[in-house]
Each structure stands twice: as C-alpha cells, then as structure tokens.
Amino acid sequence: MIPEIGHLALIIAFVFATGLAVIPMWGAVRGNIAALNLAPTLAMGVLVFVSIAFAMLAISFLDDDFSVAVVAANSNSLLPPIFKFSALWGNHEGSLLLWVLILSGWMAAVSWFSQGLPRVMVARVLSVMGMIAIGFLAFSLLTSNPFERLLPNIPLDGNDLNPLLQDPGLIIHPPLLYMGYVGLSVPFAFAIAALLGGRLDASWARWSRPWTNVAWGFLSLGIMLGSWWAYYELGWGGWWFWDPVENASFMPWLMGTALVHSLAVTEKRGVFRAWTVLLAIFAFSLSLLGTFLVRSGVLTSVHAFASDPERGLFILIFLALVIGGSLLLYALRAPTVASRINYTAVSRESLLMVNNLVFTVSTIIVLLGTLFPLVMDAFSLGKYSVGPPYFNAVFVPLMALVMPFMAIGPLSRWREDSAARWLHELLVPGAVVVVFAVALPFLFGGEFNVWIALAVLLAGWVAVGVLKDLWRRLGVGSGYGLRWQALTPSFLGMAMAHLGFAAVVMGAVVVTQLNEERDLLMEVGDVEFLGGYRFELTGLSREAGPNYMADQAVFEVTQGDQVIATLIPEKRRYFASGQMMTEAAIDASVWRDLYIALGEPIEEGAWAVRLQFKPMVRWLWLGGALIGFGALLTVADRRYRRQSTRHSAPIAEASGLAR
C-alpha cells in the first residue's frame, strides 16, 4: 500500500508541476493577476506531494519492503537503519526522486523569500522551475519509477547497498551536491524570466545573486565532501581523479564561479548583462548535462549509474528542449544594445572579466576532455580515455594565471583605477610573499622545490590581497578606531572564499609534491619508517560487523619515543554481496595525514600493505569548506534583505511588465 501511495503522490505532484508551468506563465502573458498569484500555491503543492512520495519510499526502505524493486536491489535487512535511509539515493531511481524533492524545495524557498519581488517576476521564475520539474517528474514516472514492485516473486532479502556507499560521507554528500546542482536552476529561472520579461537590468542581477551564491556554496561543499569521501573510502589515498562523474559536478562549479563574479559586475555596474544571462544558462545546462552523462551510460565511470539508452534518450530530449529553448530565447531576446556604461582597462570590471574568461575557458577545457572519448568513439576513430595528465597540464596553468589577479580584484576600484595605486597597495606585502616563498626551505628545512615555492608565492599573494583589503576596511592606522561595521557578511564571505581557494591550491601542490607512499608485505612485528614516523604492525585479528566480517591489522605509529596513534585498517567482506572493501585507517592533522590501507593477504600471517604520508592534504577540504561556507555567509548581507521590502511591487506593474 505504501509504495502505491508514493506513486500516486508522484503523479499528483506531476499534475501540480504542469499547472505551475502553464497557469502563471499564461497569467504573465495575459496580465491575469489571479493566475499569477497561483504560482506560490502550486509550487507548494509540488513540494507537498513530492515530499509524500519521498517519505513513502523512505518508509519502504526502512521497513525492508523487498517487494519494491529499488529496495530489493539496494538494501538488505542487516543494513544499519541510517544506511537503509541513505540507500534511498544510492541508486538511479531514488536519487532522481531526491533531485525532484530538492528542486521543489528550492521552488518553495523562492516563493517564500521573494514576497517583495514583482509578482510577475516571481510567477515567471516559479513557472520556469515548474517546467523543469515536469521534465524530471516525467522522467521518474515514465522510465525510472522508484515504486515498481517485484510481484509475485518477492525476494526474501535484498541485494544490499554497495559497500562503497555504506559510509557517513554518502549520507550527506549527494544531498549537498544536489542542493548545488539543482540550486543552479534558480539563477537559470531568473535569467529566463528576465529574458521573457525583456528586463535585463541590475535588479535582476541583485535578485538572483543570493540564490546563486547559496547554490554555488552548496555545490562547493558537495564537491569537497565527494573528494574527501573518495580519499578515505576508495583506499587509494587519491583525492581527485578527473573521472567523468567528478567532471560532471566540477563543470557547473567552474561555470558557477564565473557566474557569481559576473553577477557582481552586472549588479553593481550594469555591464556584462547579456554575458551574465548566458553564464546562468550555461551553469544550469552543465548541471543537466552532468545528469545526462551520469545516467545515460554514454561514458564509463566508476560511479556512473547503470546505463540505459532509453533513459539516455529521454534526458537528451529534455536537455534539447530546456537548453535549446533557452539559448533560442537568448538569441531572440538578449539585449543587443551595448551598454552605455564605460569602464577603463585598469578597473575592477576588467579584473572580473579576467576571472570570467579563465573560468569559462577552464570549463571548456574540462568539457572537451570529458567528451573527447565520446567524440572519437562516435566517429569510429578508436577508443580513448583522457586521463589526469591532460587535465593537469591545461587546468593547473589556468588556475595559476587567475591567481595574480585575485589579490588585486577586491582592492581595485570600479570604472577606473590606476596601476600605480595597486602597486602602492600591494608592493610591500607582495615583496614579503616573494621573500617568504624563496626562503621557505631555509625556514622549515627540506630541499628547495620550485612548485611549492610557486604555490606559496601565488597562494600567499592571494592571501595578502585579502588581508590588505581587511586592513583597509577596518581602517587600521586611520586614528578613528576599528570600523567593525565595514566587515559586512558579503565582504567576509568573499574573503573566506578567496582564502579557501588559496588553501586548496597550497594543499593540492604540497600533497602532490611531497606525498610519500610505500607498498609492502608486512607480518606481525615488522617495522617500517616513512616520513619520519615509525610504523609497527603489532597484531592481526578478525572482527564481525553488523553485515560484514573484517580482517583488521593493528599498527602502532611512533615518532621518537612518542606514540602518535594506533591505526586499525580493515579489509571487509560484506555478507550479502560478497564484496570486499578496503577501510583505510587515517591519522589526520592539519600538517599531515598518515594513511594505511590493507591490500590482500599474501601468505599466512602476511598482508600487502600500503603506507602513505600525505602532507597538508587536509588543506584541500578545509579550503573547500571555507569556499562553501563563505558563499553561504554572503546571503546574510543586509542589502539582500532590504531588497525584499524596497520592491513591494504594485500589482499594476505586473500587466505593464508582461509586455
């Protein structure tokens, strides 16, 4: 009964979504205020019924209802309850439902927080989001029904959740990532609504800015968690693989980075208008493309869902309608009159344009690398795979290119600035960074490493830019005391994100350059030295988990006379699937991780073991968290709250705007 209720709720949600896509849009065209005003109610209807469907599927998982195909394929009665719940989105059908749930959550949030916006704008935005919801609900109902039953032969027990996904990281990683992916539909919907209304001005940019920042912040956190999860769960100690599925989430992030900055220019200065709209369309299009790549089976990847050409065709048609339709709309309605607002080559506008160019080019680079195997295959030119060497060779220099500008950006002035002033602001801190980068080996020992010196130089340069800006805003040395009120949430968020970026660069370069690893055959009593630490294998044992059996090895790690940690890596064998899993043991700290993974038992009492010493690897995720939380912080800014009261829109405006 429960699954049928869920199925029915999903169908009702589809009806609401159709209403949302049609009625307010018609109201906007005709100036029918009653129809416009229905938008928030219809959006809430979608949310309520998708939530019911989601809850019914969650109950089916928690109750071990193995008559439901998805539950039978992805859960097991022995699975701990929290993983039964997260198993819901560990598969194609369930994750699609999560996608729609989050989309309807964003719709409800837009209707709740946009009460001060012109009604016609809100109606159009929600209507566009309703169209997206139609597509995904239809996709779910027609090709990937999560409530499909296995009748009459009900399995006695389920196949179990893939052991890789039985991990706390997987409880929060997909929802965060989807918050970001799907959140990009909000700036997209605002862009389309603005194109439809023919009003592409600064107010449009101001309205969509907080939404974009939040979505981009969630996307940053989602990607960061994904990288962390891969690091500790896959057992190789790698943190980024340039895998097609990773790229699928990374491309919207790169585009989103450009969008976040471009929106700032459009809001403050009214320039880059057409370009910003295009970026908003691109960012969401790339998140749809990611969905297609992951779910259609056109690319092979370790974390792709089971491939199914029929589903692929459905998403492709949907993709063509959404992206093709919006780009056509853009071609027809984008502002063709160049803006009359001028700026000089030496100005904040130009610096933000550098940001836009670099991140757009980076997106294209990643897109080309991801699709290259497909292109070659499509033209029968052979089978290829594009690996990290390509991406690193092209991507790393691009990031290095943008960093010199990052420090100047926040300090620079709009419209017209002078290089002499920049030099005056940054000459001393810049010199300090250069000296520090060169003198590093003398300060901390070790050999001079040119890549680390460069990383310190660039990351340090970005950091001094942020600090100098902070210094100036606070009015240090002005004689009037510190101006704490100058530290607005949007400034602090930006500062955090920029520092986070610098931290990611430091972590990535240092761990790549100084990583040490050793593959060994070890028996109890064996001792090994790595990175200045002494690793002793003190014992082997076998422990039973709730749904697996684990071989454990106990390592004692010492430095000098001091015991640093006792690490217990495991090799698990899961009962239901018989799959083997490596659970690495990690001693984490800010400056270095010690990482031990068990390979295979080679002979009686001896195991293949991989020891790794990973300096500063944490900086990657600390930096990622700074970027994400920084972006989220910006929406606390007062000026976004003021907007909602300032534009208490007269309803008459609606008909005026409609055409």
Partner 1 sequence: MRVKRFIPLAVFALLALLLFKGLSIDPTALPAARLGQPFPDFSQPELLTEELIDASALRPGPALVNVWATWCYSCRVEHPYLLALAEQGVPIYGLNYKDDSEKARQWLADLGDPYRLNIADRDGTVGLDLGVYGAPETYVLGADGVILHRHVGVLDQAVFEQDIGQWFPALAKLGQANAPEGSAQ
Choice between 97 and 289, CB closer to partner 1: 289
Using CA atoms, how far apart are residues 466 and 468, in angstroms rounded to an integer?
6
63 φ/ψ angles, rounded to the nearest 5 degrees? -85, 5
Taking CB under 8 A as the rule, does residue 515 contact partner 1?
A: no
State the CB neighbour count (10 A cutoff) for residue 460. 20
CB of 564 to partner 1, least distance (A): 31
What's the CA gap between 204 and 606, in Å, rounded?
Answer: 65
- Rounded to a whole number of angstroms, the minimum distance from the CB of residue 327 to partner 1 is 4
Note whether 3 binds partner 1 by CB under 8 A.
no
**By CB under 8 A, which span of 52-60, 167-175, 230-238, 322-330 interacts with partner 1?**
322-330
Query: Across-strand partners of 519?
Result: 610
- Location of structure tokens 């063509």: 320
Binding string, 380-409, against partner 1, x = CB under 8 A? x-xx--------------------------
Cα dihedral 196→201→205→207 (10° resolution): -70
Task: Please calculate the CA angle 494-497-500 and round it to the nearest 5 degrees.
Answer: 150
Taking the least distance from each CB to partner 1, the nearer of 294 and 462 is 294
Separation between Cα atoms, residue 602 and residue 617, nearest integer Å: 30
Among 40, 90, 183, 373, binds partner 1 (CB under 8 A): 373
Using CB under 8 A as the binding rule, whether residue 600 contacts partner 1 is answered as: yes
Residue 371 CB, shortest distance to partner 1, in Å, is: 7
Residue closer to partner 1, measured from CB, 70 or 288? 288
Check binding of 538 to partner 1 (CB under 8 A): no
- Least separation in angstroms between residue 320's CB and partner 1 is 5
Candidate ranges 81-89, 317-325, 346-354, 488-496; the one touching partner 1 (CB under 8 A) = 317-325
Helix orientation angle between 244-269 and 273-296, rounded to the nearest 10 degrees = 160
Q: Is 298 in the site for partner 1 (CB under 8 A)?
A: yes
Number of C-beta neighbours around residue 490 at 10 A:
21
The CB-of-302 to partner 1 minimum distance in angstroms stands at: 12
CB of 580 to partner 1, least distance (A): 7
Measured from the CB atom, the residue of 104 and 326 that comes closer to partner 1 is 326
Q: Which of 270, 297, 388, 545 binds partner 1 (CB under 8 A)?
A: 297
Q: Which of 192, 205, 271, 278 binds partner 1 (CB under 8 A)?
A: 278
* Cβ 304 to partner 1 shortest distance, Å: 10
Cβ distance to partner 1 smaller for residue 345 or 368: 368
Identify whether the C-beta of residue 621 lies closer than 8 Å to the C-beta of residue 224: yes
Torsion sign over Cα 23, 24, 30, 31: positive
How far is Cα 360 from Cα 447, in angstroms, rounded to an integer?
37
Nearest distance from C-beta of residue 511 to partner 1, angstroms = 24
Q: Judged by CB under 8 A, does residue 114 bind partner 1?
A: no
614 half-sphere exposure, CB direction, 13 A CA radius: 25
Cα 520 from Cα 526, distance rounded (Å): 10
Choose among 554, 460, 567: nearest CA to 509. 460
Contact between 159 and 578 (Cβ < 8 Å): no
Residue type, 442: F
* Smallest separation, CB 190 to partner 1 (Å): 18
Number of H helices, E strands in the chain: 21, 10
Q: Does 316 bind partner 1 (CB under 8 A)?
A: yes
Residue (171 or 376) nearer to partner 1, CB: 376
From the list 276-284, 388-396, 423-431, 499-507, the region that binds partner 1 by CB under 8 A is 276-284
378 forms part of the interface with partner 1 (CB under 8 A): yes
Give the E-state strand segments of 21-171 in sequence order: none
Among 306, 345, 427, 580, binds partner 1 (CB under 8 A): 580
Which is nearer to partner 1, 141 or 364 (by Cβ)? 364
Binding residue for partner 1, selected from 25, 70, 72, 371, defined by CB under 8 A:
371
Is 285 a binder of partner 1 (CB under 8 A)? yes
Please pick, from the candidates 154, 328, 476, 652, the single residue that binds partner 1 as defined by CB under 8 A.
Answer: 328
Binding residue (CB under 8 A) for partner 1 from 324, 441, 446, 650:
324
Among 142, 154, 302, 313, binds partner 1 (CB under 8 A): 313
Peptide bond preceding 210: is omega within 30 degrees of 0, i.e. cis?
no
* Least gap, CB of 136 to partner 1 (angstroms): 18
CB of 516 to partner 1, least distance (A): 21
d(CA 334, CA 326): 11
Note whether 334 binds partner 1 by CB under 8 A: yes
Which of 354, 634, 642, 598 has its CA nearest to residue 491?
A: 634
Size of the site for partner 1 (CB under 8 A): 37
Out of 71, 299, 464, 632, the residue judged to bind partner 1 by CB under 8 A: 299
Query: Which two tokens mark 116?
Result: 């001060």
CB of 227 to partner 1, least distance (A): 24
- According to CB under 8 A, which one of 116, 169, 312, 545 is a site residue for partner 1? 312
Rounded to 5, what percent of the chain is helix, strand, coil?
65, 10, 25
Report the distance separating Cα 242 and Cα 237, nearest Å.
Answer: 15
* Least CB distance to partner 1 at residue 383 (A): 6
- Please report how close the Cβ of residue 555 comes to partner 1 at its closest, in angstroms: 22
Dump the DSSP string for 114-138.
TTTS-HHHHHHHHHHHHHHHHHHHH
When the beta carbons of 320 and 486 are compared against partner 1, the nearer one is 320
Q: Which is nearer to partner 1, 340 or 383 (CB)?
A: 383
Q: How near is the Cβ of 191 to partner 1 at its closest, in Å?
A: 13
Pick from 157, 167, 377, 526: which binds partner 1 (CB under 8 A)? Answer: 377
Supply the DSSP symbol for 307. Answer: P
Rounded CA separation 365/390 (Å): 9
Reference 132, options 147, 117, 110; nearest CA is 110
CA 650 to chain centre: 38
Q: Is 283 in the site for partner 1 (CB under 8 A)?
A: no
- Helix or strand run (H / E) with residue 446: none
The DSSP result for 551-589, as a single string, is EEEEEEEEETTEEEEEE--EEEEETTT--EEEE-EEEE-
Residue closer to partner 1 by CB (options 320, 432) is 320
Provide CB contacts within 8 A for 638, sequence distance 6+: 488, 489
Interface residues with partner 1 (CB under 8 A) are 274, 278, 281-282, 285, 292, 296-300, 309, 312-313, 316, 319-320, 323-324, 327-328, 330-332, 334, 336, 371, 373-375, 377-378, 380, 382-383, 580, 600
